[in-house]
Structure 1
Amino acid sequence: MWRLLMQQKRHLALALVSLLICVSMNLLSPVLQGMLFDVLVRGQHFSEYSKLFLGLLFIYVAEPLLSQVYILNACAAGEKLQASLRLEAFRCLLAQRVEFFDRHSSSRLTQLLSRDLDSIRAFVFTNSARDRGPRALLEALGSVAVLFALSWRLGPILAAVIVASVCTAFLYRRQTRALEATSAAAQQRLAEVASSSFANMRTVRIFAGEALEQQRFGQQVARSYASGLGFARAKAMLEGINRSATHLSLLALYALGGHLVNNKLLPVGVLVTSIGFTFSLVFATQGMLQTFADLRGMVASVRRVRATLSELPPDESMAQALPPLPEAPWEYPLVAPFSNGDGPLGLADEGPVPVGAANGSHVVAGEGLAVAAAQCGDLRLEGISFSYPVRPGAPVLKDLSLTLPRGKVTALVGRSGAGKSTVAALLERLYTPDAGSITLGGADIRAFTRGEWCGALAAVSQEPVLFPASIAYNIGYGRSMQCTQAEIEAAARAANAHEFIAALPEGYATVVGEAGSLLSGGQRQRIALARALLKDAPILILDEATSSLDVENERLVQAAIEKLMEGRTVMVIAHRLSTVQNADQIVVLEAGQVVEQGTHKQLLQRPGRYSALVSAQELTLQQTLL
């Protein structure tokens, strides 16, 4: 954080210089006011009064202008610091292993990037005012110093105000320390409950769960209210003590100051100056106490971000594959790929769009090594054992060995929970096996960079994931937007998606909504398939890729898939017989192990798990089964 802060030396220097001048003017102002009273009381020549008046006029004109310079530069430094921290935190999250996201909810991670890091902006904005932050601290210290210089008899009174306020602050801190942790946890849980309710609103509607969701949210509101009320009690106590200290200091100042003036030991102007400083000092002291509380809150937020990001080591290969951040992240080009621009991507459609277009420099690493290996070698899983990191005591795969021959289609079948999707996740390098190895052409897949491996593999999952962006963006994502509109449309046609896309009012520029909620299940599946078709990778993983299509669309898409499969290494996970019966080999999994392997005809000719699955209709029988 210090490194990022030092990048704003220009803003910080301007803020510091303007702050010091403003504080000096504010300290000089009560002194000049006291001198004005002295001139009037003593009946001195009007020219003396005019000089003092012009001095005050200059301060009243210049100080607001310099305050603007201070606030503008302080806030600019804070905004730039926050922008840098947000991008670095997001980059760090992108480089985390998938198990990290298994442990943390998306609402919690979103809260880290939004509310927690926004505490920096709130701290700078709030504490750039005159009665808060460094300005209040300097004015409080300066006020005591000036008063001691003017009258050593009155200075201790104001020093006592500071001591009383500091003691109160420590008491306040002790009372609110536990409340801060409780409040932060309540706010986090509040956001999680709301996020889960909105994300699963269709399920809530179907099962009439509105009352239950209201109850869950209400419980978190009650917890948040309880912690907030505790803060209110502590705040009320702090305010009461501070106000009492203010009144006592004023009474002491009037009593002692009046006595000194009456005995000709103190000029009346010094007493007026002291009274002015008393009010300034009280407000500054209260502001400092609130600043310290804000500072603790900001530090706690930054620590939460740091603790979360450092909980697990990042994926080094993923971190190396990410493009470098620009030197000035607050000047990131405002490219809008989610909406209409020159084309449906929000970018020009004349030719391929480099993935580094957003920052103007970086292009994704070459994909040649893994692609070349996939074109000349088999994909092997040897002695694979695996448990999900969040459930280390529950093995999913046990000493599994499997070969996916180059250019052939391998179908995985088995009951739910047999480990089929886990095999796909390991091939996609979402997780690392606990034991065993995965090789491509004899080389461990970990020898390939993340960019190289991703360039050699395309996948369509059982539940397609779409971004809340345009259809063109979701399809073009398969090639990191390095594609033309014509290529996107060709992929959509191959996936039997072009017809329904063209019928939409905005065509390929149609925004699909949260997780594709504005499209039907079959439409989402075809867009996901088009994305994989566009990638044109030598290794293809299909996890129930045609599960959401009707019979006619499945026939058309299946024809496109069969054409795509030619010459590629394909792994298919499916329950429909029409999908698996023509595979070059069918592998039956049970309890994380291979129990049968062969072609469709071979497996049906002998009693076993596959024939039992077919007989029990756990594979969807089509009219092709004779």
Structure 2
Amino acid sequence: MTSNARSASASSQSLKTNLWKRIYSRVGTYWKGLAVAVLCMAGAAATQPTLAVAMKPLLDEGFSGAKPEYVWQVPIVIIGLIFLRGLCNFFSDYLLAWVANNVLLGVRRDMFEKLLTMPDSEFKKGDTGRLLNRFTVDAGNVTSYATEVITVIVRESLIVLAMIGVLLYMSWELTLIILVTMPISVLISRSFIARMRRINQDTVNMNAELTRAVSEGIDGQRVVKLFDGYAFERNRFSYVSGRLRRFDMRAATSDAAMTPITQVITAIAVAAVIAVALNQANTGTLTVGSFAAFMAALAQIFDPIKRLTKVAGKMQKMLVAAESVFTLVDQPSEPETGTGRFEGRALGRVEFRHVSHRFADAQTDTLSDVTISVEPGQTVALVGRSGSGKTTLVNMLPRFVSPSSGEVLIDGRNIASLDLRALREQLSLVSQDVVLFDDTIAVNVGYGALHDASEDEIMNALAAANLLDFVKALPLGLQTPVGENATRLSGGQRQRLAIARALIKNAPILILDEATSALDNESERQVQASLETLMKGRTTLVIAHRLSTVQNADKIVVMDHGKVVEQGSHSELIARGGAYSALYQMQFRED
């Protein structure tokens, strides 16, 4: 083995060990319930060999008539043992399910907490299918397999050990045959483990692709219908489903192959046992009852051994799922670089000083040496062609994006020195892509830390957003559900609801990211009127493509290729006849 192969093997082993520790450290949190479950499993396992041991006196003395009381004693004992086993199995299964569901609850809480604090850049990777799959499939697999592995290893191991004890008691010679063949079965099953792990990893990845394909089919169903994308979507879904089927079949083949191989080895062992037993019976060293008890114990030992060999596949599935889950849990959170806070409400002075930025996978800068200052209460519009860096610049204010060089300041304080929550308390956002939650109008308007806003405050915000009459006309008023993605509202209504939410927050700095670009003229006028109410007394940064909406801005900043090429009021820039004037004339002609 080469040094690289040895290093990779050591790394893989270290990863497995770490995953085992992390899984069972969580399971161990509920050690009391687990301990009682193990005791119940031990009780169930103890009943198994007792039934086999009862065969010897039953055959040697019961059927001969030497012990007539066995007629009623043995059936009662059997019923009692079966009842005890069922009771122990019920409580062990219940307690293990309780442990598994509590562990699952904790894992999903940690995953969701991480999801909320992950950097904005992680969500731009477009890995939604994988994220959803981790919550719905992988987390469940980790906990269900973790408790199943405990159940199989503890219960079946106890049964095997008890049965081996019975076998040794009945005949050590016959038991020796069994003990020689058992390791061979274990070694063969180990050869399947590496293959099962690779297949399970491929299955996890393909499950994420399936989730993504279905999710996009749901979200884009109108586009599919209008652009006749049926064949494309069917082919994509068929490809993913076919790959998933092949991976499942490979896993099933590997899993199923262990059974006949184990059965062949078992048949050889049983044949050898019968041959030796017949020889011992002929010499008078083995009675019929002893042989029957031995065979009864032997017949009961193979099922737990088979379950123990097959648990290897479940372990691999558990480890693959755990790796996926803990990859999310271990994702770095948003960098918390400062602890500073504002004394109350910020004034709203915003400065970008020599700011540059380049994305990790980009060849050129998105922003290059940008310097802009905004006084409290001013409205500054950022205009320019798509890709000129406007959104990237504005996203630096809430620290969704960090500058590669330069600094961003609010009231003279570098925002990197501020606590993230304290910083974002001073900011509000209304964007083109309004995000509303599948809840009531009241919940969406008073969303977040202000969820306890009074009904009067919500009504006043809706009135200021020119939406109160619409809400009052609804049968359920404020308690009207908006539907998934607010599908029950028009585009203009969604925008004004977002404006009402921003009004309730009452932050001193407002970001408007193309808030009216996707609306028709009538809706735009209504939303623009609501925005004017919202902008009063606030420092406002506006990203706009329609220059007609920013003519009254205090300052217009024209950007191109990540640089500021012009700054000034509308009249100043028109008079200058530069880049802004060219953009304005072009839009005027189009209109």
Q: Same fold (TM over 0.5)?
A: yes
Alignment partner, residue 586 of structure 2: 616
Q: Deviations over 1:358-381 (max 9, x none)?
A: xxxxxxxxx971753x22x51101
Alignment partner, residue 335 of structure 1: none
Tell me the CA shift for residue 522 of structure 1. Answer: 1.9
CA distance in 2, matches of 1:196, 1:247: 53
* Equivalent in 330, 334, 349 of residue 315 of structure 1: 334
Alignment partner, residue 138 of structure 2: 116
CA distance in 2, matches of 1:463, 1:257: 80
1:583 lines up with 2:553 in the alignment? yes
Tell me the CA shift for residue 447 of structure 1. Answer: 2.1
Query: 2:567 is paired with a residue of what secondary structure?
Result: strand
Tell me the CA shift for residue 552 of structure 1. Answer: 4.0
Tell me the CA shift for residue 405 of structure 1. Answer: 1.0
Q: Deviations over 1:137-179 (max 9, x none)?
A: 2212322233123210111233244223212212322443432
Q: Percent identity?
A: 30
Alignment of 1:359-438 (within 5 A): 369=342, 371-372=344-345, 374-375=346-347, 378-389=349-360, 391-438=361-408
CA distance in 1, matches of 2:293, 2:473: 78
1:523 lines up with 2:493 in the alignment? yes
1:209 lines up with 2:229 in the alignment? yes
CA distance in 2, matches of 1:619, 1:304: 54
Alignment partner, residue 167 of structure 1: 187
Alignment partner, residue 281 of structure 1: 301
Unaligned runs of 5+ in 2: 1-21
Residues 470 and 133 of structure 1, relative CA distance in 2, 3 Å threshold: farther
Tell me the CA shift for residue 468 of structure 1. Answer: 2.5
Alignment of 1:320-339 (within 5 A): none
Residues 497 and 34 of structure 1, relative CA distance in 2, 3 Å threshold: farther
1:78·1:120 contact (CA, 8 Å) conserved in 2?
no
* Equivalent in 93, 104, 108 of residue 82 of structure 1: 104
Alignment partner, residue 287 of structure 2: 267
Alignment partner, residue 528 of structure 2: 558
Unaligned runs of 5+ in 1: 322-366, 622-626
* Equivalent in 20, 26, 32 of residue 42 of structure 2: 20
CA distance in 1, matches of 2:67, 2:97: 46
Q: Deviations over 1:302-349 (max 9, x none)?
A: 112223443x5322439x99xxxxxxxxxxxxxxxxxxxxxxxxxxxx
CA distance in 2, matches of 1:267, 1:81: 52
CA distance in 2, matches of 1:396, 1:228: 45
2:200·2:320 contact (CA, 8 Å) conserved in 1?
no
Residues 48 and 499 of structure 1, relative CA distance in 2, 3 Å threshold: same
Tell me the CA shift for residue 55 of structure 1. Answer: 3.3
2:52·2:297 contact (CA, 8 Å) conserved in 1?
yes
Query: 1:413 is paired with a residue of what secondary structure?
Result: strand
Q: CA RMSD in A?
A: 2.5
Range moving further from structure 2, 191-200 or 550-559: 550-559
Matched AA of 2:560: E
Matched AA of 1:381: F
CA distance in 2, matches of 1:557, 1:173: 61
Tell me the CA shift for residue 3 of structure 1. Answer: 4.0
User: Would you say how many aligned residue pairs link Structure 1 and Structure 2?
Assistant: 569
Q: Deviations over 1:447-501 (max 9, x none)?
A: 2212211211100112112222323222221544131233222222222223333
Query: 2:576 is paired with a residue of what secondary structure?
Result: coil
1:82·1:117 contact (CA, 8 Å) conserved in 2?
yes
Residues 70 and 478 of structure 1, relative CA distance in 2, 3 Å threshold: closer
2:482·2:488 contact (CA, 8 Å) conserved in 1?
yes
Provide TM-score, normalisation by structure 2. Answer: 0.90
Tell me the CA shift for residue 182 of structure 1. Answer: 2.7
- Judging by fraction of residues, say which structure has more helix: 2
* Equivalent in 538, 561, 571 of residue 541 of structure 2: 571
Tell me the CA shift for residue 124 of structure 1. Answer: 5.1
Alignment partner, residue 496 of structure 1: 466
Tell me the CA shift for residue 127 of structure 1. Answer: 5.2
1:35 lines up with 2:78 in the alignment? no
Residues 479 and 128 of structure 1, relative CA distance in 2, 3 Å threshold: closer
Provide TM-score, normalisation by structure 1. Answer: 0.85
Query: 1:398 is paired with a residue of what secondary structure?
Result: strand
Residues 469 and 423 of structure 1, relative CA distance in 2, 3 Å threshold: same
Tell me the CA shift for residue 95 of structure 1. Answer: 1.7
CA distance in 1, matches of 2:184, 2:589: 78
Alignment partner, residue 5 of structure 2: none
Tell me the CA shift for residue 26 of structure 1. Answer: 1.6
